[in-house]
Chain A
Amino acid sequence: MTSGAELACPKCKRTLGPDSWADAQHGACAGCRADFEFIPFPALHATRAQVIAQTAVLSEESVCFFHAENRAEAICESCGRLLCPVCTVPFGGKKLCPSCIAGSKGSEDPTVARDRVLFDSIALTLAVVPLLIWPFTLITAPAALGLVIYGWNKPNSLVRGRGRARLVIAAVIAAIEIGAWIALGVTWWVRS
């Protein structure tokens, strides 16, 4: 039986001492008394090959952008910077530099995107929900149409693979609402 590396209770973060383990895969945290089941994988005890950067010896050798003393052995597939093995980060099938990964906030690249705004859902909600209190559609209908135009070429959900159907529906509903307001305005003007 292996007790494994020192681990922390996922609930209370206290180290799971020997008294927390009933067997290799079950136990109860001595701190918070939470029963847990532990399923280990090879990476728990495995090690990775050590990355050693080669020192640039010759003056004409390409050097790493971040470590001028290290020989460059890869190129960042995002920004094109030369990288030593220490700075080369395999990420989503690409080799990237730490700067590109750190700067991925707001990126539209599906490999590194951290979040996405769902313009189609917002536009559809703006077009439909205000119908409950229809005078608000005077404002929300143009807003919905504007969002449809703005979000037309924006990337959608990373996982759900939605097309533009919602945007089209929102645009149609918003256009009908705007048309109704125009008709209402014309009718009122004619009568007055």
Chain B
Amino acid sequence: MTVHRLRVGVVGAGVMAGIHLGNLARLGHQTFVHSESGAAALANEVGAQVCGNYSALLDAVEWVVIATPTDTHHQLALEALRRGRDVVVEKPLARTYRESAELVATAESLGRRLRPGHVVRFFPEYVHLHRAVAAGTLGELAVLRFTRAGSYPTRAGWFADLGRSGGIVFDQMIHDLDQARWLAGEVAEVSAVSRRDLSGAAPVQAAHVVLRHTSGAISLASGVWGAPNLEFRTTFSVAGTGGVLEHDSARERPSTAQLADAPPTEGLLPARDAADDPYLAELIALLDADPDRDPVVSAVDGAEAVRLAEAALASLESGQPTRLGG
């Protein structure tokens, strides 16, 4: 699957770090891990080498995969770029647009690759959607709708800290803000409303963001961090002059199981093959050194998504739409 064995270092020890590390190992790359805590346990699963500090990891690798809390992305990525490494950064690229723009400029001036982990671009339903739009199947896009809903992330405290994570808009909805821009082009205006309710057994947060694209198309992204019992569900509906395409992840399951005795399937399921694993497909594309191959998502895309998220937060603050110049 991979031609060239790379030396790749993963920074972080959470869920995304685990996923990327596992896929890097599957791809046959030589793997390293550094994290403030939990690195050893993670490295053990795939036989990666643990690096006690970030500098040591940077010394050892060609590529860095940053899968740490959002507000650490900028510093870690900057250091890696300056050390002459190529970098994959989990979304969002950084906590602010200013930081994101600095990363883009730094990568550009140093001639380094910087790729944001916008994995939704690799989910097959979104691949189909983008291809159809690019092929002109839907004509001129008019109204786009996206939803992304799951349970409130209580696993790690930093998610709920708006200053650290950017909240639901930066952490979850950014995927759909990126999708809207990828499909319907640059955005002129962003308007958002949001609500967080702490009255129940667990917090619930939701937001709606509407975008006016320079093309005149309008997009709605809705995000939910809901009750603990919520299953993760994404939808889209994109209407243009040439037709409509829709998807609801809750309705597109190839099988349902109603079994008398169904213990958790963790560990029981075989690994998904590449065609079925967007995270694997993403890594393959992002680490691809071939200059003629489209990495699907660029550093600028990562920065622009952050810009949209920031504009949404500004709208929440001001109670008015945020206009984007240029």
Partners in one complex: no
Which of B's residues lie within 8 Å of A, judged by CB?
none
